Structure 1
């Protein structure tokens, strides 16, 4: 007589129960991974919206300070309570000022540019980087007998220019004199020969001055290309 016992129902169910437990663990792991991804995306959105963001330079007007194609870190929340400061490198929305001068992109192109910005390709539409030369209440003019821009009658030192100003090579080939209204800034590119900035928009709405509420942030660092990473100097301009 065969003395071996046939497996009971409990033994036959063991593999099935083990499979269910493994499947449950995999499902929990997928859920956990999904939560981690969502939290990471949320943290990235909050960081880029309120703390620091990444922008790609897509212009030559800031040479030699910035090169076309470089990626820069931008401090959000600027300007602070003290307002914009002379010498700072700022990013701003040029809609209503710079954008009409150069021609605005279509809605589809703007949408694609905005999506590209979030994936690290290019910058949002109608975004510009320039240097603050004068702030609200200042009188900015060019040029004195040594070719320098003056702020409130005082000549400025601009070591970031490729060519030091002189009577033969002034800081601006375009002469100007303007009083900056409160809450606005006068901006210029460091590559004065090619920069479209406040000088070119004196006859436009706003007189070429940028409203502080259009400022996106202050450029602080170049972080790409990696071999060219550096801190950006936001030099003080006396006036």
Structure 2
């Protein structure tokens, strides 16, 4: 009795090769995505209303994992009090003097325009003046009435800024 052996032939080899390539591509995409998230960008869901109206509570933002000390930048850092990740705006850097007079921000005595702040909600608010220590940044939320920020916990070392908000998504 002769046993017939079925040869998979060239078509069977092609299918096997294509399957291996597909698996390799899927693994590469997963590793690339994980690497990007760990070292480059990361989404974050905002848990408070301290950055409204710029970034609302429940919104998702995309963080670029690189520090910044540029005034006006929205940045992420770990709260010095409880180490929770927070998002605030840099309003002054080391060596600058900051004050709030009747809800208006002054840096080095100059009025800073802030169209993203609802000044009518914080009318009558005063703070400072204080000078930001060298190598540190002064951070504030856009919703000044409810924000826990550098007015409460002080300036933050620039190296503690872990990311920059690059995309507020609604």
Larger Rg belongs to:
1
Cα RMSD of the aligned pairs, angstroms, is 2.6
TM-score normalised by length of structure 1? 0.62
Distance 1:174 1:27 in 2: 71
Instruction: Tell me whether 1:163 sits opposite 2:152 in the alignment.
Output: no
Q: What SS does structure 1 have at the residue aligned with 2:77?
A: strand
Quote the offset at 1:198 in angstroms: 0.6
Distance 1:43 1:140 in 2: 43
Q: Name the one with the larger strand percent.
A: 2
| Farther-moved stretch of structure 1 (152-161 vs 186-195) | 152-161
Cα deviations across residues 10-41 of structure 1 (Å, max 9, x unaligned)? xx22x3x339x84x666545543332222112
Q: Which runs of 5+ in 2 are unaligned?
A: none
Quote the offset at 1:70 in angstroms: 0.9
Q: What SS does structure 2 have at the residue aligned with 1:200?
A: helix
Cα deviations across residues 22-69 of structure 1 (Å, max 9, x unaligned)? 4x6665455433322221122113323443322111111001111111
Q: Match for residue 73 of structure 2?
A: 88
Q: Name the one with the larger helix percent.
A: 1
Q: Which runs of 5+ in 1 are unaligned?
A: 1-6, 105-125, 202-207, 226-239
Instruction: Tell me whether 1:199 sits opposite 2:155 in the alignment.
Output: no
Q: Is the 8 A contact 1:174 1:199 kept in 2?
A: no
Q: Is the 8 A contact 1:57 1:72 kept in 2?
A: yes
Mapping for residues 148-187 of structure 1, pairs under 5 Å: 148-164=104-120, 169-170=123-124, 173-187=125-139
